C-alpha cells in the first residue's frame, strides 16, 4: 500500500497514514519532456498537465547552460504574440544580453531552389565537425501561409537535424516581415547566449526579406545558378550590392564548366558595384552543396572577412548601427500598425483615398486630416501603447 511519502504535499502532518488521499509518481519525459522539443504553440502546452512555470532567472540559466528544452521554450515565448509572453521574453532577453554577440552571423539568400538549405546543411556539417556550434534560422514571411518550406528544410537538413551541436529553428509565423524579423533577431540572441557561435540565417531572395536579413547579419552570401539569366533569378543589381560573397552553386557534373564561366562573369561585373562592406571586396566563387565541394573555401573567406573587419573596427560599428536601426524599424512598424488598426482611420480611409483619387482633396491635406484623426482620438483615449 501507499506509504507516507506518497501522501500529497499538502496533506496535514497529523493526518498520517489515516489520510485518505494518495498521489502516484508522475510519468518521466513525455511529449514535453523531450529535451530538444521546441515546437509547442506559445501559451498552450500540449501536455494536459501544465509545465512548471519558470522564472526569468531560471529561463536565463537554462539557456546559458545550453538546455535545449529551455532554449526551445524561451524561443516560443519570443515568438508569441501574447503581450504577457512578450513581457516575459523581454525580461529574459535583458538577462541574456550580456552573453550575446559572440557569434559569426551569416545570411544566405538566393532564389527558391538555388540550394540554400542544402548549402546550409553542408556548411553547418563542416562547421560542427570543426568544433563549432551552429544555429540555423530562417526568415520566410511566406511560410506562415504555405508552411511548406518549414517541412522542406527540416527534411533537407538531415545530417544537421540529428546533431546535438546544431539547433534548427524554422521561420516563425509572424504575419508581417517586421514581426518575423523581430522574432528571428531575438531568437538569434537566445542562441548566442546558449553558446552557438555560428548563426546561419536562410532567406529567399525575392522581395524585401533579404534586405531585412542583411540588416541582422555580419556576412551576407548570395547563392546563384549558372546558366539562368539574371532576370530569371530575380537578381537585381541592388541585391548583388548587398552581398559580401557571391557563390555559384551546383558546380558539379555537366554544370561545372558553366558554373566557372558564370563565376568569371560575375567577378567582372562585381568590379563595377558598390562594395557591401567598407574595406572589403566581394568576390564570386563556385561550390557544390550536395557534393560538399568548395564549402571549406567559403568558410575561409568568411573567416578572412571577420579578421579584416574586426581589425578595421567595421565589424563592431556595423553591429551597433544594426541595433540602432532595429529600434527605429520597430518604432516604424509599431506606429504603422497602430495607424492602420485605428477604428476612426478604418472608418475614414476609403473616403479620403477616394477624394484624393478624384482630385477633390490634395494629398498633403489628406495626410493632415488622417494624422489629426489619429492623434485626436489617441489623445482623447490617453492609451498606453505596447510594442
Ligand X SMILES: Nc1nc2c(ncn2[C@@H]2O[C@H](COP(=O)(O)OP(=O)(O)OP(=O)(O)O)[C@@H](O)[C@H]2O)c(=O)[nH]1
Residues lying near ligand X in the complex (CB under 6 A):
110, 112-118, 149, 152, 156, 204, 249-250, 252, 288-290
* Cell numbers describing residue 1: 500500500
Residues in the chain: 387
Residue 104: in which H helix or E strand, if any?
strand 104-110
Which of 38, 80, 117, 286 is the binder for Mg ion (CB under 5 A)? Answer: 117
Q: Which range touches Mg ion (CB under 5 A), out of 116-124, 157-165, 254-262, 361-369?
A: 116-124
* Cell numbers describing residue 147: 508552411
Contact criterion met (CB below 8 Å) for 93 and 261 = no
The entry of Mg ion, ligand X, none that residue 249 binds, CB within 5 to 8 Å by partner kind:
ligand X
Contact criterion met (CB below 8 Å) for 285 and 245 = yes
How far apart (Å, rounded) are the C-alpha atoms in residues 196 and 202? 16
The entry of Mg ion, ligand X, none that residue 250 binds, CB within 5 to 8 Å by partner kind:
ligand X
Check binding of 209 to Mg ion (CB under 5 A).
no
DSSP 122: H
Shortest distance (Å) from residue 154 CB to ligand X: 11
CB contact set of 8 (below 8 Å; sequence gap of 6+) = 21, 22, 23
Shortest distance (Å) from residue 328 CB to ligand X: 29
How far apart (Å, rounded) are the C-alpha atoms in residues 49 and 30? 11
Identity of the residue, 116 or 185, whose beta carbon is nearer to Mg ion in the bound complex: 116
The entry of ligand X, Mg ion, none that residue 56 binds, CB within 5 to 8 Å by partner kind:
none
Q: Which range touches Mg ion (CB under 5 A), out of 76-84, 109-117, 128-136, 174-182?
A: 109-117
Residue nearest to ligand X (CB): 115
Identity of the residue, 202 or 218, whose beta carbon is nearer to ligand X in the bound complex: 202
Shortest distance (Å) from residue 116 CB to Mg ion: 5
Shortest distance (Å) from residue 351 CB to ligand X: 42
Shortest distance (Å) from residue 220 CB to ligand X: 15
Identity of the residue, 290 or 308, whose beta carbon is nearer to ligand X in the bound complex: 290
Of residues 266-305, which lie at the interface with Mg ion (CB under 5 A)? none
String marking each residue 68-107 x if it binds Mg ion according to CB under 5 A: ----------------------------------------
The per-residue b/e assignment along 327-361, b for 16 or more CB within 10 angstroms, e otherwise, is eebbeebeeeeebeebeebeebbeebeeeeeeeeb
The entry of ligand X, Mg ion, none that residue 115 binds, CB within 5 to 8 Å by partner kind:
ligand X
Identity of the residue, 290 or 366, whose beta carbon is nearer to ligand X in the bound complex: 290
CB contact set of 367 (below 8 Å; sequence gap of 6+) = none
Shortest distance (Å) from residue 254 CB to ligand X: 10
- Which three-class secondary structure state does DSSP give residue 256? helix
How far apart (Å, rounded) are the C-alpha atoms in residues 178 and 214? 13
Q: Which of 169, 165, 191, 201 is nearest to 100 (CA)?
A: 191
How far apart (Å, rounded) are the C-alpha atoms in residues 41 and 31? 13
Residue nearest to Mg ion (CB): 117
Shortest distance (Å) from residue 153 CB to Mg ion: 5
The entry of ligand X, Mg ion, none that residue 288 binds, CB within 5 to 8 Å by partner kind:
ligand X
How far apart (Å, rounded) are the C-alpha atoms in residues 185 and 138? 10
Angle at CA 37, nearest 5°, toward 36 and 42? Answer: 135
How far apart (Å, rounded) are the C-alpha atoms in residues 316 and 312? 9
Dihedrals phi, psi of 199, to nearest 5 degrees: -115, 120
Shortest distance (Å) from residue 187 CB to Mg ion: 17
Of residues 176-205, which lie at the interface with Mg ion (CB under 5 A)? none
Contact criterion met (CB below 8 Å) for 161 and 154 = yes
Shortest distance (Å) from residue 152 CB to ligand X: 6
Positions touching Mg ion (CB under 5 A) are 116-117
Amino acid at each position: 500500500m501507499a506509504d507516507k511519502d506518497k501522501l500529497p504535499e499538502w496533506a496535514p502532518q497529523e493526518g498520517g497514514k489515516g489520510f485518505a488521499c494518495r498521489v502516484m509518481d508522475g510519468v518521466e519525459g513525455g511529449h514535453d519532456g523531450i529535451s530538444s522539443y521546441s515546437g509547442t504553440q506559445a501559451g498552450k502546452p500540449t501536455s494536459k498537465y501544465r509545465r512548471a512555470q519558470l522564472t526569468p532567472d531560471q529561463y536565463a540559466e537554462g539557456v546559458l547552460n545550453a538546455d535545449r528544452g529551455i532554449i526551445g521554450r524561451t524561443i516560443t515565448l519570443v515568438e508569441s504574440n501574447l503581450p504577457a509572453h512578450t513581457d516575459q521574453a523581454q525580461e529574459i532577453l535583458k538577462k541574456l544580453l550580456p552573453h550575446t554577440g559572440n557569434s559569426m552571423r551569416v545570411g544566405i539568400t538566393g532564389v527558391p531552389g538555388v540550394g540554400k538549405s542544402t548549402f546550409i546543411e553542408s556548411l553547418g556539417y563542416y562547421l560542427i565537425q570543426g568544433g563549432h556550434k551552429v544555429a540555423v534560422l530562417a526568415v520566410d514571411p511566406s511560410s506562415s501561409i504555405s508552411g511548406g518550406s518549414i517541412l522542406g528544410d527540416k527534411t533537407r537538413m538531415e545530417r544537421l537535424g540529428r546533431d546535438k551541436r546544431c539547433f534548427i529553428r524554422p521561420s516563425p509565423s509572424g504575419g508581417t516581415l517586421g514581426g518575423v524579423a523581430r522574432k528571428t533577431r531575438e531568437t538569434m540572441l537566445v542562441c548566442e547566449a546558449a553558446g552557438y557561435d555560428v548563426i546561419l540565417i536562410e532567406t529567399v531572395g525575392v522581395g524585401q526579406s533579404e534586405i531585412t536579413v542583411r540588416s541582422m547579419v555580419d556576412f551576407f552570401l548570395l547563392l546563384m545558378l549558372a546558366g539562368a539569366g539574371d532576370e530569371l533569378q530575380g537578381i537585381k543589381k541592388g541585391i548583388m550590392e548587398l552581398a559580401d560573397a557571391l557563390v555559384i552553386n551546383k558546380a558539379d557534373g555537366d554544370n561545372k564548366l558553366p558554373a566557372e564561366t558564370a563565376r568569371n562573369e560575375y567577378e567582372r561585373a562585381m568590379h563595377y558595384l558598390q562594395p557591401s562592406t567598407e574595406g572589403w571586396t566581394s568576390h564570386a566563387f563556385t561550390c557544390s552543396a550536395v557534393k560538399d565541394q568548395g564549402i571549406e573555401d567559403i568558410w575561409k573567406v568568411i573567416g578572412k572577412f571577420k579578421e579584416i573587419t574586426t581589425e578595421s573596427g567595421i565589424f563592431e560599428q556595423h553591429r551597433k548601427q544594426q541595433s540602432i536601426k532595429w529600434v527605429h524599424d520597430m518604432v516604424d512598424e509599431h506606429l504603422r500598425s497602430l495607424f492602420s488598426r485605428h477604428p476612426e482611420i478604418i472608418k475614414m480611409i476609403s473616403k479620403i483615398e477616394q477624394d484624393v483619387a478624384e482630385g477633390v482633396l490634395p494629398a498633403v491635406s489628406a495626410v493632415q486630416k488622417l494624422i489629426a484623426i489619429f492623434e485626436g482620438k489617441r489623445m482623447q483615449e490617453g492609451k498606453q501603447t505596447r510594442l
